[in-house]
Amino acid sequence: MQNWDKYGGRHQCNDNLFSSVCCCCCDKDSCNVAESCTDKIRQQTCSFPPNKLQNGRVYCTNSNKIGSQCYHSCIKSGYYLNPSDSTTLQCMGNGQWSMKAPCCASDVWTGGPVNTGNALRYVRDQVFVKGHVGYHHQDVVAVYFDKNSDDDVKEAAQALRDDGVLIYAVFFKFDEEPINMEQLLDIAGDLEHMFIIEGDFERAGEQIAKQLITEVCQNACGP
């Protein structure tokens, strides 16, 4: 489809749809003839083919060409796709992938920084979405950890509490590392929501359950 201009570099395309209709004008007013503008657009590729995924696999329908869809999955036990909603990427008409390529993350901590604040932000943004919080029930987050967090937790925890979410902080002490009590209180927001477990790990669940029943259930003993 020829543009209203006689010639030039202008073109109009819907970048977000595969096989979109493009109106264009080529150098010598020869749209759709020989090497047309639409041919050039179809020949575009995305910046890189995401064909490598550590601990996983990637299958692309047409390499890194426009319209190609790349499907990601984790094949090694104990690994999951992160972010979980980035299973499929598509090479868009503007030469960019529809989203950032995911990784296969391990569900076992193997070292590195502990980002409890980021975890709390994720829960607020992805789990307790708008319209869910406070809907005929009490939302509760129990944070279990055995290392002090390396990032800031205060703002993220307070944002959850402002939404009406109860937070319980459960610290399992396995070594001689001092517990950051101020940080623990920042997470829990209340001394009664803080639990430090040393040695008697089997009774930890019972202890926490009693506190939850006392606070959440208004009439735990029934009518």
DSSP string for residues in 83-117: STT-SEEEB-TTSSBSS---EEEESS--SS---HH
107-131 residue pLDDT tens: 666 667 889 999 999 888 888 765 5
* Structure confidence by residue, pLDDT tens digits, 31-68: 444 444 445 555 578 877 656 788 899 989 988 888 88
pLDDT tens for each residue of 143-176: 988 889 999 999 999 999 998 899 999 898 888 8
pTM of the complete model: 0.48
Structure tokens at 209: 């359950």
Domains identified in the chain and CATH numbers: 1-43 (no CATH), 56-106 (2.10.70.10), 116-216 (3.40.50.410)
- Can you tell me the distance from the alpha carbon of 193 to that of 208, in angstroms, rounded to the nearest whole number? 9
- What integer pLDDT is reported at residue 174 of this predicted model? 81
Strands 166-172, 194-197: pairing is parallel
Can you tell me whether residue 28 is helix, strand or coil?
A: coil
